[in-house]
């Protein structure tokens, strides 16, 4: 799991509130209404003008996405708890009932395969929550590393995504080129194809694309170089390596005690990850409900004015240092690589 960040795509990330009573707005969601077991949808806010209603509708959609994600997480956690009990019980016996354990593993695998539909696109394959219900597949490309692209002789790389409406995209790499400039150039070139470059927590270059478009990009993404880093002439198909999924039940073993013990450890790690995801989802739901409650009492313009005035009051006074102390905890753990990736977004 990645370190905590300010983005809702991280299970560890708390939703930072800009100011008391002034929640930050979030992006659009396009999911069908669904309510997780045990959760009740918040009533639609009273209408105070078209803009306020539109914004409130977006918040309700985001709440729906969070509820669907929570329902999936709880259901999967229940199956993993049952499997954990079976694995623990089998390990206390001399003989492992591999067929029974295999059925339990298969049930988890089937549940995991329904992640995208069940969560409405709000949980990605790493169990990172996406409030905008826009789960993405991250991947790396051999030869496209930061050091390789920012050093050495200059060369023009031409990308072909094969996506409808996107043509060839050229990017000049090599010295002199900074990490930030590289991300910005790749971001502009690949934006029409829906592919986004980013740096992971270790500063390694990776890419992401909407999960629905992943298979098409994987089959058609190609590149033509200038004969330095990549061959010139005909575009070469790129081999994309997807990042490892949070759960890989298809690899879990139960044929003997050794395999069963290893599977138990993987199940325990998966349960820990689900707890982190659940915490992030719960925080998101609390913030969205708070925003809906606030908007039900005022127009969007009044809310925006109140936020600006509150922000200025906090950070433009002689004692503004005390306000800084409220913001710093939310920034802890945010790496320079994540900041660079955000700044490079087109």
Tens place of pLDDT per residue across the chain (346 aa) = 433 333 334 333 333 333 333 333 333 333 333 333 344 444 444 444 445 556 677 888 889 999 999 999 999 999 999 999 999 999 998 788 999 999 999 999 999 999 999 999 999 999 999 988 899 999 999 999 999 999 999 999 999 998 777 889 999 999 889 999 999 999 999 999 999 999 998 999 999 999 999 999 999 999 999 999 999 999 999 999 999 999 999 999 999 999 999 999 999 999 999 999 999 999 999 988 888 887 777 665 666 676 666 656 655 555 544 454 445 444 445 556 556 566 666 6
Buried b (16+ CB within 10 A) or exposed e, 13-24: bbbeebbeebbe
Q: How far from the centroid of its chain's Cα atoms is residue 120's Cα? A: 13
CB distance 311 to 19 below 8 Å: yes
The residues pairing with 208 across neighbouring beta strands, listed in sequence order, are: 138, 196
Enumerate residues 6+ apart whose C-beta is below 8 A from 236: 222, 223, 224, 225, 230
Q: Kindly tell me the sign of the dihedral angle through the C-alpha atoms of 41, 135, 178, 201.
A: positive
Length, in residues, of the chain: 346
What distance in Å separates the CA atoms of residue 145 and residue 116, rounded to the nearest whole number? 29
**Residue of 233, 298, 239, 278 lying closest to 75 (CA atoms):** 278
Of the candidates 322, 152, 158, 134, the residue with the CA atom closest to the CA atom of residue 214: 134
Residue 113, strand partner residues? none
Q: What is the pTM of this model?
A: 0.68
Q: Provide the 8-state DSSP code for 345.
A: -
- Roughly how many angstroms between the first and final C-alpha of the chain, as a whole number? 26
Helix (H), strand (E), coil (C) string for 279-341: HHHHHHHHHHHHHHHHHCCCCHHHHHHHHHHHHHHHHCCCCHHHHHHHHHHHHCCCCHHHHHH
């Amino acid at each position: 799991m990645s370190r905590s960040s300010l983005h809702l795509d991280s299970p560890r990330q708390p939703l930072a509130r800009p100011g008391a009573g002034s929640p930050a707005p979030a992006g659009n969601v396009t999911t069908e209404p669904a309510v997780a077991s045990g959760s009740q949808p918040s009533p639609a806010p009273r209408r105070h003008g078209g803009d306020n209603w539109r914004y409130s509708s977006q918040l309700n959609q985001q709440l729906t996405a969070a509820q669907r994600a929570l329902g999936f997480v709880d259901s999967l956690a229940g199956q993993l708890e049952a499997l954990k009990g079976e694995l623990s019980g089998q390990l206390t016996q001399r003989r492992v009932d591999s067929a029974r354990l295999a059925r339990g593993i298969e049930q988890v695998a089937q549940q995991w395969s329904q992640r995208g539909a069940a969560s409405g696109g709000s949980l990605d394959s790493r169990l990172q929550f996406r409030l905008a219900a826009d789960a993405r597949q991250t991947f790396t490309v051999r030869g496209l590393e930061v050091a390789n692209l920012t050093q050495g002789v200059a060369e023009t790389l031409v990308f072909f995504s094969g996506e409808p409406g996107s043509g060839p995209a050229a990017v000049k790499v090599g010295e002199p080129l900074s990490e930030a400039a590289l991300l910005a150039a790749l971001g502009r070139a690949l934006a029409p194809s829906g592919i986004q470059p980013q740096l992971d927590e270790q500063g390694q270059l990776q890419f992401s694309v909407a999960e629905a478009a992943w298979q098409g990009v994987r089959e058609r993404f190609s590149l033509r170089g200038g004969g330095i880093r990549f061959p010139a002439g005909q575009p070469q198909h790129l081999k994309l390596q997807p990042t490892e999924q949070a759960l890989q039940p298809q690899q879990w073993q139960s044929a003997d005690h050794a395999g069963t013990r290893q599977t138990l450890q993987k199940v325990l790690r998966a349960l820990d990850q689900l707890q982190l995801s659940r915490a992030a989802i719960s925080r998101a739901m609390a913030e969205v409900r708070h925003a809906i409650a606030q908007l039900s009492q005022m127009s969007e313009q009044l809310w925006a004015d109140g936020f600006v005035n509150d922000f200025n009051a906090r950070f433009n006074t002689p004692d503004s240092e005390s306000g800084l102390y409220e913001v710093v905890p939310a920034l802890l753990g945010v790496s320079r690589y994540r900041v660079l990736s955000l700044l490079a977004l087109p």
